Amino acid sequence: MTTALLSDAAIDALHRTLALQRQAFQAAPFPSLADRRRDLKALRLALQRWQDPLARAMSEDFGRRSESECKMLDVLGPALQIDHALAHLRRWMRSERRGVDWMFLGNRARVVYQPKGVVGVIAAWNFPVVESVGPLVTAIAAGNRVMIKMSEFSPRCTEVLRRMLAEVFAADQVAVFDGGVEVGRAFAGLPLDHVVFTGSPAVGREIMRAASVNLTPVTLELGGKSPAIVGRSAAMGTVARSIAHGKLFNSGQACVAPDYALVPPERIAEFVAATVREFQRMVPDPVQDPHYTSMASERHADRVRELLVDAVAKGASVTSCGAGDGGRIIPLQIVTGVSPQMRIMQEELFNPILPVLACDSIDEAVAFVTARPRPLALYYYGNDSGEARRLTRDVPAGGMTINDWAWHVFQCDLPFGGSGNSGMGSWRGPEGFRALSHAKSVFTVRRWFPIHLFRPPYGSHIQQLIM
């Protein structure tokens, strides 16, 4: 009963905030360049001021999360995005002159990028600031109001973020909500003007279904199994350093972490030995190292163990890159002898397990990856430009880094998003600005233009125009 009452109050607060923001938007539907820049600058200063409490809160939510990684990704990421928006906003906002069809020559056609209104943002728990403040930056740059629904797994971070954002924005411009699935459902069902969702493909489908009732457009940042393809020409030291880093960053709890590796069969032993070595060089003692992140909950840690038990029961071998604590600290687990029937190849991992599969050629790699749902990220290691070109052109994936992992995600001028099962749209860079704006076509008819020729009574000239 208490829970139901609480939820009713939470749901009521969502509706009241939407009404408040909508009213404020209608009163000021096109914030000036100066206003948007002022807000972005204030947000950047707030991120700087609040970086320590934010990092501490994120770490406490996880049990232990590397505070350096928190700052590097969750604070620096949105700060760089603000710098990029400040540098390009004038150009993004400018209306664009377009051509007119020959029979309308002399008139004026242009596209004006209008703010959409109230943008809803639903964040996951793994990079809670990037997934909330990132879309917020673009939404503010595009002149919108923003309602943010954080994950139930990041309560301390939500609280700090709420206080930080309240310093910069009034509730009729930006508001933060917590709550679990029930609040998420109510949020997705609001008649918002756009929803940006970060989370799993399964929940992404629910969000899209709920948004369709109001014809609310969606940007879906989802997950998937991102392959690391190791070519014969690759330098194994570079490959191992990169993949070990990709799996130890946030302990693999990253949507773009390499999910599995495809390695030439004769190089698998060398790959495993080098990856163990590189992991141990970066994290000699996972249990004691404050920069090695724990699984976000007991449930997530138990899932790692269940996946390994399933793989071993089906014939796989596991090489652990170090000692864990038997609880939520789990070092990288490299799995060989993998078959596609194992759960580790059926589910997105989102943890420090790395399945390694033998792959004899680039054709085999392309066939393997394209037979599966489209990944969010694709990694190629090697110096064969033909192979790199083949993967770039022929494998649909959200994005791609060649000879390392994830760096395409850090480039503010590149769109970041998925394809197919890994998502649609992007909230970042120029593409993000356009996604969170309405491209309004504006056609101005000159007074002298003989527009009456297109009205009845129609003359024979209509026929002549067609010829």
Tell me how many residues contact ligand NAD (CB under 6 A). 30
Nearer to ligand NAD, 76 or 312 (CB): 76
216 touches ligand NAD (CB under 6 A) = no
198 touches ligand NAD (CB under 6 A) = yes
188 touches ligand NAD (CB under 6 A) = yes
Helix (H) or strand (E) holding 233: none
Burial 215-233 (b: 16+ CB within 10 A, else e): ebbbbbbbbbbbbbbbbee
Pairing of strands 227-230, 260-263: parallel
248 touches ligand NAD (CB under 6 A) = no
Nearer to ligand NAD, 178 or 278 (CB): 178
Peptide bond into 457 cis (omega under 30): yes
371-400 footprint of ligand NAD as x/- string (CB under 6 A): -----x------------------------
| Residues that are catalytic | 221, 255
Closest CA to 235 of 87, 393, 381, 77: 381
Among the listed residues 221, 259, 387, 431, the single contact to ligand NAD using CB under 6 A: 221
Closest CA to 181 of 224, 212, 141, 152: 152
Q: Hey, which bits of 301-396 come out as E strands? A: 317-320, 333-336, 353-358, 377-381
Among the listed residues 43, 46, 123, 345, the single contact to ligand NAD using CB under 6 A: 123
Using the structure block, give the residue that is written with the tokens 């864990």: 324
**Candidate segments 120-128, 157-165, 233-241, 448-456, binder of ligand NAD by CB under 6 A:** 120-128
Helix (H) or strand (E) holding 446: none
One-letter identity of residue 274: A
126 touches ligand NAD (CB under 6 A) = yes
**Candidate segments 42-50, 184-192, 236-244, 334-342, binder of ligand NAD by CB under 6 A:** 184-192
CA separation for the pair 144, 117 (Å, rounded): 5
Nearer to ligand NAD, 115 or 418 (CB): 418
Among the listed residues 78, 115, 143, 199, the single contact to ligand NAD using CB under 6 A: 199
Helix (H) or strand (E) holding 345: helix 343-346
Closest CA to 172 of 117, 129, 218: 117
Tell me phi and psi for residue 315, to 5 degrees. Answer: 105, 5
CA separation for the pair 285, 308 (Å, rounded): 21
Among the listed residues 184, 355, 399, 425, the single contact to ligand NAD using CB under 6 A: 184
Q: Looking only at residues 133 through 152 of this chain, which bind ligand NAD when binding is defined by CB under 6 A?
A: 149, 151-152
405-424 footprint of ligand NAD as x/- string (CB under 6 A): -------------x----x-
Q: CB of 321: closest distance to ligand NAD in angstroms?
A: 22
DSSP for 156-193, written as a single string: HHHHHHHHHHHHH--TTTEEEE---HHHHHHHHTS--S
180 touches ligand NAD (CB under 6 A) = yes
Site residues for ligand NAD per CB under 6 A: 122-127, 131, 149, 151-152, 180-181, 184-185, 188, 198-200, 203, 206-207, 221-223, 255, 348, 350, 376, 418, 423
